[in-house]
């Protein structure tokens, strides 16, 4: 937990300002960008990071939710996700962003599960066209690292 908090602090106060400054140098000012911050969170940690990002850069905040409710027990949910990963099953999403084409900068936040993205996030990624969008991923994890989440 302490490692997660340290990573969040580093991201919000060191990395994020550098990303913002780089975007401003390239002409994409904060005021002119339409920002979307989407996240998938079970415990609230990824949600908290998403809220910190929104506080710093503004934008619309949206939680990725599945149509079918997920297990409330953490271990059961991680097991279900592992089975979905193994069988390449993508859960249907309740979350639909009807004006997705209006956003030009998209933060996507996810925890690491089974050293990869939760399948709900993969469903989200497969549901939209990210061409000509600036995508800024962020990750939370229990100290084992991001696994393959950023490569995905």
Domains and CATH numbers, the chain: 32-140 (3.40.50.360)
φ, ψ of residue 22 to 5 degrees: the values are: -65, -45
For 27-48, give the DSSP string.
T--TTT--EEEEE--SSSHHHH
**Averaged pLDDT of the chain:** 82
Q: Are 65 and 129 in contact (CB under 8 A)?
A: no
Q: Are 110 and 76 in contact (CB under 8 A)?
A: no
Tens-digit pLDDT profile for residues 104-117: 999 999 988 766 78
Whole-number Å distance between alpha carbons of 90 and 121: 9
Half-sphere exposure of 95 (CA within 13 A, CB side): 22
Per-residue model confidence (pLDDT) at position 130: 96
15: pLDDT strictly greater than 70: no
């Amino acid at each position: 937990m302490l490692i997660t908090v340290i990573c969040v602090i580093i991201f919000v106060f060191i990395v994020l300002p550098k990303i913002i400054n780089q975007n401003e140098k390239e002409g994409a000012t904060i005021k002119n960008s339409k920002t979307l911050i989407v996240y998938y969170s079970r415990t609230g940690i990824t949600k908290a990071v998403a809220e910190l990002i929104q506080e710093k850069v503004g934008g619309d905040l949206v939680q990725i939710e599945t149509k079918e409710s997920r297990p409330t027990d953490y271990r059961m949910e991680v097991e279900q996700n592992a089975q979905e990963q193994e069988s390449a099953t993508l859960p249907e999403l309740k979350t639909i962003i009807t004006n997705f084409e209006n956003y030009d900068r998209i933060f996507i936040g996810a925890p690491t599960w089974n050293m990869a993205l939760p399948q709900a996030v993969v469903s989200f990624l497969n549901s939209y066209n990210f061409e000509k969008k600036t995508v800024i991923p962020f990750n939370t994890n229990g100290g084992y690292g991001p696994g393959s989440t950023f490569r995905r």
